Structure 1
Amino acid sequence: MRQPAGRSARRSGGERKPREERWAELIEVATQVFYEKGYDGASLQDIADRLGMLKGSLYYYIQSKEDLLFDVISTVHRDGLAVVRARAEVEGSPLEKLESVIVGHVEHTCRNLVPTAVFLHELSALPIDRRKEVLGSEHAYQGVFRDLIEQAQRQGDVRADLDPRLAALSVLGSTNWVYRWFRPGGAFTPEQIGSELAEMSIRGIATEKALAARA
């Protein structure tokens, strides 16, 4: 079992590791509590009560509330990054791959509203060095979008006047916002939202030649 980033490293090597299932439950419950109360308003006692365990028992897994938030945020980022990286491996041109990545990102967001909200709301609660540790020195998540835009631009499918980093930030900014208004069981499905937002994003950055080829 992996050792979560915030977990105490002070235990002896021979001490029994916590079960993976219990750790996953802790992350799930902590995510929900941070969502309901906010990082500042939540306490380790709140989380322990929800888990049905003593507060002191949490220190078997973590050293502090900040460590727990770090692991929650890291888990959300890792899971989302795995989705967009997998979507970037589909067959097709860079522009087609970018469309797939946008659809995957939106659908994943719609199906993970609580973790997404915690990530976007509480990332700033971490110290800068820990935020950088989560995001990676090159902002790995943003980098998937940026790299595909750069590749499509080199092929003449994305407008030459656009800065790939700004374009990636624009696409992510507009698609991230879905977590604020999407409601499960509402008028729009994750698939419909993903498809339409991807179409609008691509139309905003693609060249006339690329758009004609898509048509």
Structure 2
Amino acid sequence: MRQPAGRSPRRSGGERKPREERWAELIEVATQIFYEKGYDGASLQDIADRLGMLKGSLYYYIQSKEDLLFDVISTVHKDGLAVVRARSEIEGDPLQRLENVIRGHVEHTCRHLVPTAVFLHELSSLPIDRREEILGSEHAYQGVFRDLVHEGQAAGQVRPDLDPRLAALSILGSTNWVYRWFRPGGEFSPEQIGGEMAEMAIRGIATDEALRSRAS
């Protein structure tokens, strides 16, 4: 059963937090509320109550509930994208870098289950143009995986019969699903899951020669 975060006590005027700190807290609380109740079931009053502030005060930061969902999902996407981009830049051949990216994506997902769930469940609640604004015209997150598959084909490490976009979607589809069954403190650690899922993905797309090279 989902457990709500604790409600913040109301603060007097002299105890107001800096705007940046309050904004970060707003995003965190809104993410939790959207997770607990879903976007349609959540209200700005729910979020204001959890923050210990008046509903009207939220409009200092946002214009609507849709704007808040947009900011929440943008934050989740930006944080995850930073992780996979950083992993893709670690020195190595395309398959090594793809392995790093898959590991990073899975580990990040396991450690941020609530934001991941909100992103995957509620992205479709936004209008198409706002979804595209987050994802980018080239789907930047997917693009990190797709580009590495393409580089692997150019290096002779990835099977040439595969479509890079379909391969990227397949990898993301399987790894994204981790959020549905991973349990913190359970039998498998984020690192173990990331390592095994990366190994399975690489074995599914690599050429025989590349697999032999990795084994040696």
Aligned to 2:162: 162
Equivalent-residue separation in structure 1 for 2:86 and 2:155 (angstroms): 22
Correspondence 1:99 to 2:99:
yes
In angstroms, what is the RMSD of aligned CA positions? Answer: 0.9
Matches within 5 A, 1:143-154: 143-154=143-154
Structure 1, residues 110-140: CA drift from partner, whole Å, max 9, x if none? Answer: 0000000000000000000000000000000
Q: Indicate the percent of aligned positions where both proteins have the same amino acid.
A: 84
Paired residues in the alignment total: 199
Equivalent-residue separation in structure 1 for 2:183 and 2:148 (angstroms): 30
In structure 1, the gaps of 5 or more residues are: 1-17
Aligned to 2:138: 138
Aligned to 1:44: 44
**Which amino acid letter does the alignment assign opposite residue 141 of structure 1?**
Y
- Secondary structure of residue in 2 paired with 1:92: coil
Aligned to 1:21: 21
Give the alignment's TM-score, normalised by structure 1: 0.92
**Which amino acid letter does the alignment assign opposite residue 177 of structure 2?**
W
In structure 2, the gaps of 5 or more residues are: 1-17
Aligned to 1:85: 85
**Which amino acid letter does the alignment assign opposite residue 182 of structure 1?**
F
**Which amino acid letter does the alignment assign opposite residue 202 of structure 1?**
I
Alpha-carbon offset, residue 92 of structure 1? 0.6
Equivalent-residue separation in structure 1 for 2:146 and 2:93 (angstroms): 15
Alpha-carbon offset, residue 33 of structure 1? 0.1
- Secondary structure of residue in 1 paired with 2:62: coil
Equivalent-residue separation in structure 1 for 2:150 and 2:200 (angstroms): 18
Equivalent-residue separation in structure 2 for 1:198 and 1:53 (angstroms): 44
Aligned to 1:32: 32
Structure 1, residues 45-74: CA drift from partner, whole Å, max 9, x if none? Answer: 000000000000000000000000000000
Aligned to 1:14: none
**Which amino acid letter does the alignment assign opposite residue 118 of structure 2?**
V
Give the alignment's TM-score, normalised by structure 2: 0.91
Aligned to 1:117: 117
Structure 1, residues 67-103: CA drift from partner, whole Å, max 9, x if none? Answer: 0000000000000000000000111101100000000
Alpha-carbon offset, residue 19 of structure 1? 1.3
Equivalent-residue separation in structure 2 for 1:48 and 1:203 (angstroms): 49
Equivalent-residue separation in structure 2 for 1:20 and 1:148 (angstroms): 36
- Secondary structure of residue in 2 paired with 1:90: coil
**Which amino acid letter does the alignment assign opposite residue 170 of structure 1?**
S
Aligned to 1:12: none
Which stretches of structure 1, 4 residues or more, deviate above 2 A after TM superposition? none
